[in-house]
Structure 1
Amino acid sequence: MSTLKGARVEGARILVTGANRGIGLAFVEEALARGAATVYAGVRDPDDITPELAATGARVVRLEVTSADDIAAAAAACTDVNVLVNNAGYFGNHRLVETDDAAVARREMEVNYFAPLALTRAFAPVLAAQGGGSIVNVLSVAAIAPTPFMGGYSPSKAAALSLGGIARAELEPHGITVTSLIVGSVDTRMAAHVDGTKEQPRDIASVGLRAMARGEWTCDTDRMAVESRARLALDPVRYERGLGKLLHAASLSTKA
């Protein structure tokens, strides 16, 4: 592993995508609390932001992550950025093969893979111009093994995990680190249908920013992520079969 360290949060200029709520909002709040000089909050509609985001004082930027025009405009406007947090995500909650809407999986891939790729391409020169910086990709335990009950979301996050590794190799000579966050069940709208204990978004953001600063390649951010990784390593076939059985479960729960 490289010894290249990531950007320090204190004094950083950070762009967070999907910043209106959930983990994105938590990254905005945590970065500001840790002394970031500027936080740009990327949202689809700057005229429709949550009161919680407005209260942070972050600089709101129009950024629909699947829009090439929005990405280009953000890169042109936020020229001092040295940290990019690719957080925006989409979970369509459809089956991958046996679906009645084949477009859902394409939308998941567009938001969860192609958008972080486009943002990385657009902002890599911006970070390099600052003398280096860091990119953080917010992923999921669904990235490390096929997760049938998450349909096209799982392969899209797996693709984004590979993106992180390839981008890291390409960008390291420019002083840019890439950290992939493997995240379990978090108390957000995306996990509203899941029962049981869920992590708080601020805790994920805190762990993620610390991992970034250390220059970690991949970080399991919470107990579910750590335990999932361990079960996968111990018996991959049993772990994947267990995920497959959940496809037919009446409800989903974080409880063992």
Structure 2
Amino acid sequence: MEKLQNKTILITGANRGIGKSLVKAALAKGAGKIYATSRGIKNLPDFGDDRVVPLEFDITDNNQIEYIAAKASDTQVLINNAGVLNPGTVLEGDMEGKQKDMEVNYFATINMMRAFAPILEKNTPARMVNIVSIAAYSPLPFIAGYAASKAALFSATQAVRIELAKKGITVHSVSPGAIDTDMNKGSEWEMPAPDGIAEIILSEVENGVLDIIPDDMGKGMYNSWREAPSNLAQTFHDMYHGEE
């Protein structure tokens, strides 16, 4: 499959977590240029490499999407990583948080796909990589809005994959379990570091894997769901109600 060496890559949410690690992993893969975006450019780390082009960018602003699409018109690999998580259940959680989850994780990411699909088509062979979540498969009551937004993104990713199948653009979904990032700060779960996960993600992209689950927790949850969705539902029922 097509390698990432010498490719021009755009990564949203590159200031921390998996996004930051994806920049480092892409550099190690020999990427030619990496557009690294963040809502606040001062939040971006110094990657110590001239191949990294920092860009201030809020993916929920359509005017900024148009500007970034024009600025980064040589993009060959789009990695939609930016996302938010607002805790809360369906019945008692804050509705504003749920709306924010959907706005960022679903609608804004769709707008990115729409803006960059023509660019990627001009720069084929190209790739679109959407960082989803194993929560897309999982009925997690305590992060219900986030899980719903990621389920919506997973569905949209599958649809876009079919749309772009004959245009020289490969569309990947990435569904990690809990990773040791700021998003999961305070969790008691044992979680892998994002650097290693980012390396796995990009290697799987290079190998042409379409639906990537890069960690053991994610794989375990996915396999439980694949055997029977009710199995995973029971796991989270027991977790939520404190049952053994």
Aligned counterparts, 1:178-197, within 5 A: 178-197=171-190
Residues in 2 aligned to 1:213 and 1:32: alpha-carbon distance in whole angstroms:
14
The residue type equivalent to 2:165 in the other structure is E
Residues in 2 aligned to 1:202 and 1:135: alpha-carbon distance in whole angstroms:
20
- Find the counterpart in structure 2 of residue 71 from structure 1: 65
The residue type equivalent to 1:41 in the other structure is A
- Find the counterpart in structure 1 of residue 227 from structure 2: 234
| Sequence identity percentage | 33
Q: CA deviation at 1:246?
A: 2.8
Larger mean CA deviation between 84-93 and 201-210 belongs to 201-210
- Cα contact 1:105–1:152 (8 A) shared by 2: yes
Residues in 1 aligned to 2:228 and 2:21: alpha-carbon distance in whole angstroms:
34
Residues in 2 aligned to 1:14 and 1:195: alpha-carbon distance in whole angstroms:
34
TM-score by length of 2: 0.94
The residue type equivalent to 1:55 in the other structure is G
Q: CA deviation at 1:67?
A: 0.7
**CA RMSD, 1 decimal:** 1.8
Q: CA deviation at 1:114?
A: 0.9
Larger mean CA deviation between 70-79 and 131-140 belongs to 131-140
Aligned counterparts, 1:29-40, within 5 A: 29-40=24-35
Aligned counterparts, 1:136-215, within 5 A: 136-215=129-208
Residues in 1 aligned to 2:49 and 2:240: alpha-carbon distance in whole angstroms:
39
Q: CA deviation at 1:56?
A: 4.5
Runs in 1 of length 4+ with deviation above 4 angstroms?
A: none
Residues in 1 aligned to 2:3 and 2:106: alpha-carbon distance in whole angstroms:
26
Q: Which residue of the other structure, out of 241, 245, 248, is the alignment partner of 2:238?
A: 245
Residue-by-residue CA offset, 1:27-62 (whole Å, 9 max, x unaligned): 11110111000000011022x224x34535411112
Q: What is the SS of the residue equivalent to 1:174?
A: coil
- Find the counterpart in structure 1 of residue 17 from structure 2: 22
Residues in 2 aligned to 1:219 and 1:147: alpha-carbon distance in whole angstroms:
20
1:104 aligns with 2:104: no
Q: CA deviation at 1:104?
A: 0.8
TM-score by length of 1: 0.90
The residue type equivalent to 2:54 in the other structure is V
1:224 aligns with 2:224: no
Larger mean CA deviation between 156-165 and 212-221 belongs to 212-221
Residues in 2 aligned to 1:131 and 1:81: alpha-carbon distance in whole angstroms:
10
- Cα contact 2:24–2:47 (8 A) shared by 1: no
- Find the counterpart in structure 1 of residue 78 from structure 2: 84
- Cα contact 2:88–2:141 (8 A) shared by 1: no
1:12 aligns with 2:7: yes
Larger mean CA deviation between 141-150 and 81-90 belongs to 141-150
Residues in 2 aligned to 1:245 and 1:43: alpha-carbon distance in whole angstroms:
38
Residues in 2 aligned to 1:49 and 1:193: alpha-carbon distance in whole angstroms:
22
Residues in 2 aligned to 1:53 and 1:121: alpha-carbon distance in whole angstroms:
30
